[in-house]
């Protein structure tokens, strides 16, 4: 009987076809915005906490569960209240979804509940989105049979989701960033409320229509004003986050870059994490460069990371050096190293030297297609605080780099703190050994801004260090310090740990566990 009834549904009139078009538009926008909000929240969580896999897993899990609850609760709304409830939910969803990233920025800066804020916003948005599809299905049920209704709703919703996944990495992050993207899509979400209010005007009571229109205009105005003053808001947020004067701030598709300055102390931060302080960065970079260069006439060097140019500055002190191939994922960092007067002064214009070639590419992708040999490979990448970075400390990555080393060539990597992340440090050593390096030499130095910091050198040939050449100037490192740097006190000594692989990123868990206590 149901099949007969469904097949006898009257054909919609022109007026009703307008209703249907608006509802299909609403379905498309709902699918679009739902994925965008999910990606924005997870990406912001990964920016500030790291561990992107955990953040995306939590957001997806809570999001889907909340959508299920929202779908279940939608049955409690009677048909006579369905239309105005749907419009109200769209207004609320546009406002909360649009303000989701600004609220997370606020939470990170002023509250100590950032992870809780991520999950709360995820759940609330998921709950509202979960009510959308059942509402839209019920609103369209009078025009289509059940099978056609479900098919239409889900196909349009999924198509909207596809468009969202294409927009997010290729347009939104590169051109708007997460902050403005959330506000923009909040406004787009608001368009559903305006469209439904306009088309279904006759079906709403006058006082409800006025109330909903007022809410929609108010919410739209809040988002619009936040977009207009986004630069001022971000500037105030950045100033609050950093103790010193902010000299430069820029959000890229990969990270947030901030440079601060106070008197002689110039600092670079990526996603809020200190990368260097000009007061003591020479300790780190001299250890990273001059110890592996000791006893090695390296002419061709590959540097992965180090887009600030400070490592290149130390390498260029060697007159026999012929080339540096510097690979850094984010072009904004290498542009900063070449053009920002403060950074250029600090790196002594190293990235403008004709011996330096810059490649903006993922280090793993670059290593996978290497077809030339290098005398020295330096890995100066951020700590393995998420899965994307942990793979750059994996056995498989070291295999690729090992094959790019010239005969008697050397490899060195920064390897986080053997004091704060002891297990992670020794896991990297074990990973280098398991990747086939015959000789691995751990060493460490004290960098006041970071504490005790570790490095690992590796080679297929015996590693012989014969000091720093007399014509190489240093501020910290001496011949006497090199053997001392290889001595590890008991509390940071070698541990029994697992190697790090692509399939099992052990170093990530070791790193997060080690730093959790100190942060």
Q: Which residues are catalytic?
A: 380
Contact partners, residue 348, CB within 8 Å, separation at least 6: 313, 316
The 3-state secondary structure of 355-411 reads CEEEECCCHHHHHHCCCCCEEEEEEECCCCCCHHHHHHHCHHHHHHHHCCEEEEEEE
Contact partners, residue 205, CB within 8 Å, separation at least 6: none
Q: CA triplet 364, 367, 373: central angle to 5 degrees?
A: 160
| Spatial separation of the C-alpha atoms in residues 192 and 48, rounded to whole Å | 32
Q: Specify whether the CB–CB gap between 81 and 141 falls below 8 A.
A: no
| Nearest residue to 348 via CA among 285, 415, 414, 256 | 285
Q: Specify whether the CB–CB gap between 247 and 259 falls below 8 A.
A: yes
Contact partners, residue 216, CB within 8 Å, separation at least 6: 87, 91, 190, 193, 194, 197
| Spatial separation of the C-alpha atoms in residues 508 and 515, rounded to whole Å | 11
| Spatial separation of the C-alpha atoms in residues 418 and 442, rounded to whole Å | 10
For the chain, the distance separating the N- and C-terminal CA atoms, rounded to the nearest angstrom, is 65
Dihedral, 310, 311, 312, 315 alpha carbons, nearest 10: 130
Residues facing 439 on adjacent strands: 459
Contact partners, residue 150, CB within 8 Å, separation at least 6: 137
Q: Is 145 left (phi over 0), alpha (psi -120 to 50) or beta?
A: beta
State how beta strands 300-305 and 323-327 pair: parallel
């Amino acid at each position: 009987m149901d099949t007969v009834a469904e097949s006898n549904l009257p054909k919609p009139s022109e007026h009703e076809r307008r209703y249907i078009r608006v509802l299909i538009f609403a379905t498309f926008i709902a699918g679009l915005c739902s994925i965008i909000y999910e990606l924005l929240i997870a990406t912001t969580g990964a920016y500030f906490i790291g561990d992107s896999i955990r953040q995306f897993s939590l957001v997806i899990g809570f999001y889907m569960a909340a959508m299920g609850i929202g779908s279940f609760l939608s049955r409690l709304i009677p048909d006579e209240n369905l239309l105005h409830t749907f419009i109200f939910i769209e207004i609320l969803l546009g406002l909360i979804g649009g303000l989701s990233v600004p609220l997370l920025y606020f939470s990170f800066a002023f509250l100590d509940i950032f992870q809780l804020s991520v999950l709360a916003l995820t759940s609330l948005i998921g709950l509202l989105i979960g009510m959308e599809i059942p509402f839209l299905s019920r609103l369209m049920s009078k025009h289509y049979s059940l099978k056609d209704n479900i098919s239409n709703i889900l196909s349009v919703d999924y198509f909207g989701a596809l468009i969202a996944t294409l927009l997010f990495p290729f347009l939104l992050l590169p051109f708007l960033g997460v902050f403005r993207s959330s506000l923009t899509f909040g406004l787009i979400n608001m368009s559903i409320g305006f469209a439904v209010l306009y088309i279904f005007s006759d079906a709403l009571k006058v006082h409800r229509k006025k109330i909903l229109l007022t809410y929609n205009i108010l919410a739209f105005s809040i988002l619009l004003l936040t977009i207009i003053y986004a630069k001022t808001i971000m500037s105030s947020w950045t100033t609050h986050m950093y103790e010193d004067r902010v000299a430069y701030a820029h959000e890229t598709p990969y990270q947030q870059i901030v440079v601060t300055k106070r008197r002689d102390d110039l600092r670079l931060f990526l996603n809020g994490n200190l990368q260097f302080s000009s007061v003591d960065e020479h300790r780190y970079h001299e250890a990273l460069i001059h110890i592996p260069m000791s006893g090695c006439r390296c002419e061709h060097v590959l540097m992965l990371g180090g887009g600030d140019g400070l490592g290149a500055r130390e390498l260029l002190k060697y007159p026999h050096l012929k080339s540096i191939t510097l690979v850094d994922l984010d072009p904004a960092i290498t542009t900063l190293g070449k053009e920002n007067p403060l950074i250029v002064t600090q790196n002594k214009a190293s990235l403008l030297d004709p011996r330096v070639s810059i490649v903006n590419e993922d280090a793993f992708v670059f290593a996978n297609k290497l077809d030339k040999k290098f005398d020295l490979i330096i890995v100066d990448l951020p700590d393995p605080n998420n899965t994307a970075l942990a793979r750059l400390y994996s056995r498989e990555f070291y295999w690729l780099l090992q094959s790019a080393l010239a005969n008697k060539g050397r490899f060195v990597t920064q390897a986080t703190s053997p004091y704060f992340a002891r297990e992670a440090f020794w896991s990297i050593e074990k990973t280098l050994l398991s990747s086939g390096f015959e000789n691995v030499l751990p060493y460490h130095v004290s960098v006041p801004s970071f504490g005790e910091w570790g490095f690992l050198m590796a080679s297929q040939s015996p590693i012989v260090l014969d000091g720093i050449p007399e014509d190489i100037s240093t501020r910290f490192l001496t011949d006497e310090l090199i053997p001392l740097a290889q001595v590890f006190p008991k509390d940071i000594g070698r541990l029994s740990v697992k190697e790090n692989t692509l399939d099992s990123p052990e170093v990530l868990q070791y790193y997060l566990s080690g730093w959790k206590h100190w942060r």
